[in-house]
Amino acid sequence: MAMQIQTAVVTGAASGLGRALCEELAARGAAVVASDIDLDGARATASALESRGAKAVAIQCDVADARAVQALADASREAIGDIDLVANNAGVAVGGPLEDISLENWQWIMDINLWGVIHGCRTFGPAMKARGRGAILNVASAAGLLCAPEMSPYNVTKAGVVALSETLHAELGRAGVHVSVLCPTFFQTRILENSRGPVDSRARKVAQKLMSRSSIQAPDVARIALDAAEANRLYVVPMQDGRTMWRLKRLGPERFYRLLGSKMVRRMLGS
């Protein structure tokens, strides 16, 4: 049975998918906490929602810090009441060959992409379980399902988010809490602007081209993701290319990865 979301917290809300999720939630009548480490960006999102008549609050939070996430939960509950949905959306990117990626960059992406989601689930999940209702939307990526070459830190964190979501879908579902994991492919965001690692300019150009050409962009992804969260669908793979590649992988995993590692495919991907 679909649930109605009346209150929501979105991390990484300053731009891109985070802002689109806030806008879609507000359009559905929810009061929204727009959270980001970039407080000015979060305030811009909240202000845009308020200008449309929605209730919105901006709260700064570094999701890598468990205490900061707890403070976010406490402040959100005080501002808009019990939280119906948390969208663990904040994320960053690191790419390049394994041997060229520093441990510092591994730590950075693990703290945000994986630990940030863990903190969000551990902080908001128990209150939802106690109430017998709520929804957790974890933003992963098709990278967490497909694991392409020269993206090892990003793949590892997103695969971890998929595994966590699968676990909690069963664990919390018994208590009436919906858990969904969002796995999109390419759409326009600012993730490349702040990415780290030795990714060459050609690969960046290819990724940017794929992002800009996608027929499904952030507002569409947000709508599809929230529909799935309300309906308690576990896997949310909004793009056809992601669904096709995931199906091919499941049909023949070893052959799939031999093809991904081939020179032809690497040339197509610009890596």
AA letter at 211? M
Instruction: Work out whether the CA dihedral 181, 185, 189, 192 comes out positive or negative.
Output: positive
Specify whether 154 is catalytic: yes
Q: Which helix (H) or strand (E) holds 136?
A: strand 134-139
Residue 38 CB contacts under 8 Å (≥ 6 apart), including other chains:
14
Query: Which among 154, 186, 187, 246 is annotated as catalytic?
Result: 154
Select from 120, 118, 99, 93 the least CA-distant residue to 8.
120
* Helix, strand, or coil (residue 137): strand
Select from 149, 132, 138 the least CA-distant residue to 184.
138
CA separation for the pair 144, 30 (Å, rounded)? 29
C-beta pairs of 55-59 under 8 Å, 24+ apart in sequence: 55/31, 55/80, 56/22, 56/26, 56/31, 56/32, 57/31, 57/32, 57/33, 58/13, 58/33, 58/34, 59/33, 59/34, 59/35
Catalytic machinery residues: 154
